Amino acid sequence: MTDTRVALVTGANRGLGLAIARGLAHRGLHVVLTGRNQGAAEAAADDLARDGLSVSAHQLDITDAASVVHAIAGTGKTFGRLDVLVNNAGIAIDRGQLASSPDFEKVRATLEANILGAWRCSAAAIAEMRRNNFGRIVNVTSHLGSLSTMADTNVAYRVSKAGLNALTRVLAAELSGTGVLVNACSPGRMNTRMAYGETDRTPEDGADTPIWLATLPDDGPTGGMFADRKPLSW
């Protein structure tokens, strides 16, 4: 087993996932950059490796159960450990959609990726983490999933992130006392392909809180939702 902590980031080929991967590698972790397109994941990893960072690449489509198991169990086998999972990959394909007139194809695709994708990655990762009684799972959520500020439009995305928040709490409760901490963070609006409108915030700005949660000490929080390193009362 390698002595270096190993992190796996989903959707790490671009946007926030790439910024999180870079930040974790700069903090001395070995980072497995995953992407649903193998070539895109490799290109991103090659870029970081050129900067002297310890990284590798793996194909991982979060909607494909076999791909998830292959990437996550494979990482555990290759390195003898998986310390950190960042469930970053997500889609936002229903802007403006109202709950009263749903396009259930878009709803189904959104829930499949944003809830079930993170859920199946977590289940596979927990099996690896429990072997070493250590793990940090970070679910990337959104302010649009907050129940306390819930509004109309983008219904599939909102419901998916609210569901991800619930999953965070359920997993944290189940894993209490095992050494595996599960938290969610909202990165805030960032200038990525997904961005809702204009913003000056970069993926690097958004990566600060997920990186902090991915590197929490043993007495760190679990089951919480955070933005700017502060707990949210959702």
Contact residue for ligand NAP among 43, 111, 194, 216 (CB under 6 A):
194
Q: How far is CA 16 from CA 146, 203, 204, in A?
A: 20, 5, 7
Count of other CB atoms within 10 angstroms of residue 36: 18
Q: Which is nearer to ligand NAP, 69 or 134 (CB)?
A: 69
68 near ligand NAP (CB under 6 A)? no
Contact residue for ligand NAP among 6, 8, 9, 15 (CB under 6 A):
15
Strand locations in the chain, DSSP E? 6-9, 30-35, 55-59, 84-87, 135-140, 180-185, 225-227, 230-231
Report 145-184 residues binding ligand NAP (CB under 6 A).
none
Q: How far apart are CA 82 and CA 93, in angstroms?
A: 31
Unique residue bearing structure tokens 């913003």: 199
Q: Which is nearer to ligand NAP, 135 or 210 (CB)?
A: 210
157 in active site: yes
Count of other CB atoms within 10 angstroms of residue 199: 14
Count of other CB atoms within 10 angstroms of residue 193: 7
129 near ligand NAP (CB under 6 A)? no
Question: How many residues lie near ligand NAP (CB under 6 A)?
Answer: 33
Q: Which is nearer to ligand NAP, 52 or 197 (CB)?
A: 197
Give me the 69-108 binding string for ligand NAP, x by CB under 6 A, dash otherwise. Answer: -------------------xxxxx----------------
Q: How far apart are CA 217 and CA 200, in angstroms?
A: 31
CB of 178 to ligand NAP, least distance (A): 25
Unique residue bearing structure tokens 């990726």: 113
Q: DSSP for 60-93?
A: --TT-HHHHHHHHHHHHHHHS---EEEE------
142 near ligand NAP (CB under 6 A)? yes
Report 21-60 residues binding ligand NAP (CB under 6 A).
35-37, 40, 60
230 near ligand NAP (CB under 6 A)? no
The helix or strand, by DSSP H or E, that contains position 228, with its residue range, turns out to be: none
Single out the catalytic residue among 157, 175, 205, 234: 157
Residue 92 identity (one-letter amino acid) = A
46-54, 77-85, 190-198, 224-232 -> range binding ligand NAP (CB under 6 A): 190-198
Those residues whose C-beta lies under 8 Å from the C-beta of residue 47, and which sit 6 or more positions away, are none
What residues are labeled active site?
Answer: 157
Interface positions with ligand NAP (CB under 6 A): 10-11, 13-17, 35-37, 40, 60-63, 88-92, 113, 117, 140, 142, 186-187, 189-190, 192-196
